[in-house]
């Protein structure tokens, strides 16, 4: 994703506490704060290191949000009854298949990047692949699982239960999402205020793929890709990658928990430029990459 800093308002007058996370990255800042006791002594706000605005990313070829077609038919899960839900593992509406895989409880926190304030009442549409990289409604046409809309509470939090996504050839493991001003906006086809992706952490992904037989191609495919070579995440800044990477905890015997904060810059450039893939692997049009950048209105 191209660095859109040239399109954002000038930040040089907002002070050291605002600029520091962008300069050195969230993880490095947290390490420094923990090691030197700077969390309180420096006067940095508690959320300063957790509020790097996420860049716009491509929705990819499998959004099922009414923006593309399959076999000549518009694919739109957002207009189907039951799409607003918490458990994404079963199909909804008239479809019945259930996705198998390691349980993952997601907690997503939606924030306005200007002030790190909660986006109460906003909605987020989440979708991702199954254990081997297949997407419902496109690859698996009789299912619409691993898709759903949730609404943010007073703290900006949205919770889903899903499975840990697989890793397919050419892409770093990820979760797609679109943020809308309300649930009504999401299901009526209005433009999102942010379209982006969540990156999965390498260590935890490698452990899942190695130990769970349902992720039969995960280890092989993860070994072929890195964040820098990924055609979506590859040109994001270190601070953006740190912000959009899921923090995973828990025990694989009982399921995992993943948390991430999603700050929305309402003034950001809304185009999604694909990072050039090395050797052409995973390029535009490849699975989960992007067939065309989303229109500026999205």
Query: What 3-state DSSP class applies to 217?
Result: coil
Give the number of C-alpha atoms closer than 13 A to the C-alpha of residue 47, restricted to the C-beta side: 17
Q: What is the DSSP letter of 173?
A: -
Look at residue 270 in the predicted model and tell me its pLDDT: 86
> Residue 57 corresponds to which tokens in the numbers above?
């990313």
Residue 32 CA to residue 19 CA, distance in Å, equals 15
pTM: 0.78
> Residue 190 corresponds to which tokens in the numbers above?
């209005």
Q: How many CB atoms lie within 10 A of CB 237?
A: 16
User: Please, are residues 205 and 174 in contact by the beta-carbon 8 Å criterion?
Assistant: no
Look at residue 72 in the predicted model and tell me its pLDDT: 87
- Give the residue carrying structure tokens 């306005």: 112
From the list 281, 294, 267, the residue with the least C-alpha distance to 114 is 267
Strands, E assignment, the chain: 65-70, 73-76, 103-112, 117-118, 123-127, 147-151, 157-163, 174-180, 194-199, 247-251, 255-264
Look at residue 273 in the predicted model and tell me its pLDDT: 58
Distances (CA, A) of 26 to 5, 49, 161, 246: 17, 5, 26, 13
From the list 199, 263, 205, the residue with the least C-alpha distance to 232 is 199
Per-residue pLDDT 10s for the chain (298 aa) are 444 333 333 333 333 333 334 333 343 344 333 333 333 333 333 333 469 999 999 999 999 999 998 888 899 999 999 999 999 999 999 999 999 999 999 999 999 999 999 999 999 999 999 999 999 999 999 999 999 999 999 999 999 999 999 999 999 999 999 999 999 999 998 999 999 999 999 999 999 999 999 999 999 999 999 999 999 999 999 999 999 999 999 999 999 999 999 999 999 988 765 565 444 333 333 344 433 333 332 2
> Residue 4 corresponds to which tokens in the numbers above?
């859109």
Residue 103 CA to residue 125 CA, distance in Å, equals 19
């Amino acid at each position: 994703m191209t660095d859109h800093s040239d399109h954002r308002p000038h930040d040089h007058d907002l002070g050291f506490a605002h600029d520091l996370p962008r300069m050195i990255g969230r993880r490095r800042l947290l390490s420094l704060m923990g090691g030197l006791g700077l969390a309180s002594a420096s006067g940095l706000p508690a959320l300063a290191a957790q509020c790097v605005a996420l860049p716009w990313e491509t929705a990819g070829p499998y959004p099922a949000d009414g923006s593309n077609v399959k076999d000549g038919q518009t694919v739109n899960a957002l207009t189907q009854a039951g799409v607003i839900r918490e458990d994404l593992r079963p199909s909804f509406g008239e479809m019945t298949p259930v996705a198998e895989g390691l349980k993952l409880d997601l907690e997503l926190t939606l924030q306005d990047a200007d002030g790190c304030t909660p986006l109460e009442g906003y909605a987020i549409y989440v979708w991702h692949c199954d254990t081997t990289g297949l997407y419902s409604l496109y690859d698996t046409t009789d299912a619409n699982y691993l898709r759903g809309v949730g609404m943010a509470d007073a703290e900006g939090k949205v919770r889903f239960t899903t499975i840990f996504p697989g890793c397919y050839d050419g892409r770093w493991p990820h979760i797609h999402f679109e943020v809308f001003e309300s649930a009504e906006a999401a299901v009526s086809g209005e433009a999102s205020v942010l379209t982006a992706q969540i990156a999965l952490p390498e260590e935890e992904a490698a452990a899942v793929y190695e130990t769970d037989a349902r992720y039969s191609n995960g280890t092989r495919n993860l070994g072929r890709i890195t964040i820098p070579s990924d055609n979506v995440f590859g040109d994001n800044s270190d601070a953006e990658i740190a912000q959009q990477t899921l923090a995973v905890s828990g025990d694989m015997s009982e399921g995992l928990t993943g948390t991430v904060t999603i700050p929305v810059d309402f003034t950001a450039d809304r185009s999604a430029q694909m990072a050039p893939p090395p050797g052409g692997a995973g390029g535009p049009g490849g699975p989960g990459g992007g067939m065309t950048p989303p229109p500026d209105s999205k």
